[in-house]
Structure 1
Amino acid sequence: MSPVPAPRRTQGERTAATRARVLDATFNCLLERGHAATTIAEVQDRAGVARGTLLHHFPTRASLMVGVVEDVARRRLGVLRAGAAEEAPAERSWERAVAVVRGDLEHPAFLVVLELWVAARTDPALLEALVPVERAVFEAVHGAVTEVVGTTDARVPTLVQFTIDLLTGAAMTGLLGVDHASHERLVRRWVAALPVLLGETDADSWF
């Protein structure tokens, strides 16, 4: 019996697949070579598409960078959802919350978004595209971490934001080769300080 041929993809499916291939190539180029080296020619070569095909989807380098903003956000939100889903209700704690944030910061998508953040400082079009998308990501991270902590204390949202900012800053300085052991000590001290700030433990327990 002859095998049943696979159904032909629709034009929309082919278009979506090509766009995804171009965005994957852009993501990998940003990760490996940085924003300055992520040119139309480099992405075209990595994606293995004709120049006309790439320009049909992204007529300019600026439009390509704007396109990758949402792609990176989807990747980060996927990592965040997966990390938060692993945290069983019985295990809700600040330690688990830190693990959720770190899962995002240690993913390659965070390195790519750093490239975009720096480039957006002097690129108004990229900044305009980046700000609302990143705001949605920030809100999702904050919400997921708050859920993992699992308390309705009115002080928690502020402490969650402090935790996210501390870990983000530590991740960025870590790119410069800051001592890993010092970083780990800082995180442990902060996790120990959180119950003190919430009045759950005595200050002596922090030391």
Structure 2
Amino acid sequence: MNDLQALPARETGDASPDTRQRILEAAFNCLVARGYAALSVRDIAKDAGVNHALISYYFGGKDRLVIAVLDDANRKLLERQQHLHEEPVGFAEKWAMARRFYQSDLSSGFVRVQAELWAASLSNVELREQFLPRIQAWKQLVLNGVRDAFQAYQVDLPAVFSAEAIATLLSEFWLGMEFSQLIGAHGETARHDATLDAIEVLLRTLDARTAPAASKPKGQRQVKRTRSRP
């Protein structure tokens, strides 16, 4: 008799959202506390208060479980970021809000969970195939925000400074900053903060330049066209 056959009927019936969510939360906490390499299905089950066989029943194994953990957190945070982009405020204020969100995500453990799965993906091909589309979703969100800024600012830049190029700079800088902070390179924090501050100052300058045009009646606006559109 296998473990699932030995479980009470109430634990092997249809997937219970409450049980599934308890497993996800326990796995998230274990990833934050111990990391992927030390992640134990039995420890997760113990923390969730369920039989360890239920993890296979609900998720099919450790790697599928950690991707489900990432998806559960990603869904909420991507929705939060999408709402941020839709806020009727300047891009500098959106940038400042994104920085506050980052500090919250760092404190909650989400940044650690994402980094753990990124590192594990280097040697785990199956995990990597599942992880990459999730990180690409974040990069796409950054690209969408930069495209919105290009459209709003109408700045005249050389063609090489495309929305894609700037979004890549922002995304890769941010990811590098996350890894640096997670491994304890606190000596670099001041430089990171200075860079984030500089971008915010630039955005505030551009916001101020576009504000007068935005306040004019539509027919009176004089819009400066870019040589390159995203």
Fold shared, TM-score > 0.5 on shorter chain: yes
Instruction: Map Cα deviations across residues 137-172 of structure 1 (whole Å, 9 max, x no partner).
Output: 321243245446762648562334323332332233
Q: Distance in 1 between matches of 2:145 and 2:16?
A: 33
Instruction: Name the residue aligned to 2:76.
Output: 75
Q: Distance in 2 between matches of 1:61 and 1:151?
A: 45
How many equivalent pairs are there? 183
Matched AA of 1:69:
L
Tell me if structure 2 keeps the 8 A contact 1:120–1:127.
Answer: yes
Q: Distance in 2 between matches of 1:104 and 1:156?
A: 26
Instruction: Name the residue aligned to 1:138.
Output: 139
Structure 1 residues 52 and 140: alpha-carbon distance in aligned structure 2, compared to 1, 3 A threshold: same
Instruction: Name the residue aligned to 1:6.
Output: none
Q: Distance in 2 between matches of 1:148 and 1:19?
A: 40
Instruction: Name the residue aligned to 1:128.
Output: 129
Query: Is it true that 1:161 corresponds to 2:168 in the alignment?
Result: yes
Matched AA of 2:81:
L
Structure 1 residues 168 and 62: alpha-carbon distance in aligned structure 2, compared to 1, 3 A threshold: closer
Tell me if structure 2 keeps the 8 A contact 1:75–1:109.
Answer: no
- Equivalent position SS for 1:151: helix
Q: Distance in 2 between matches of 1:50 and 1:121?
A: 31
Tell me if structure 2 keeps the 8 A contact 1:35–1:119.
Answer: yes
Matches for 1:56-205 after TM superposition, within 5 Å: 56-84=57-85, 87=87, 89=88, 91-93=89-91, 95-106=92-103, 107=105, 108-144=109-145, 146-147=147-148, 151=152, 153=154, 155=161, 157=163, 158-175=165-182, 176=184, 177-192=186-201
Structure 1 residues 54 and 167: alpha-carbon distance in aligned structure 2, compared to 1, 3 A threshold: closer
Bigger mean CA deviation after superposition, 97-106 or 114-123? 97-106
Instruction: Name the residue aligned to 1:47.
Output: 48
Q: Distance in 2 between matches of 1:43 and 1:120?
A: 21
Tell me if structure 1 keeps the 8 A contact 2:111–2:178.
Answer: no
**TM-score, length-scaled by structure 2:** 0.65
- Equivalent position SS for 2:53: helix
- Equivalent position SS for 2:187: coil
- Equivalent position SS for 2:152: coil
Shift of 1:27: 1.0
Bigger mean CA deviation after superposition, 32-41 or 141-150? 141-150
Larger Rg: 2
Shift of 1:119: 0.5
Gap regions ≥5 residues in structure 2: 1-12, 210-230
Bigger mean CA deviation after superposition, 23-32 or 174-183? 174-183
Matched AA of 2:110:
A
Structure 1 residues 169 and 194: alpha-carbon distance in aligned structure 2, compared to 1, 3 A threshold: farther
**TM-score, length-scaled by structure 1:** 0.72
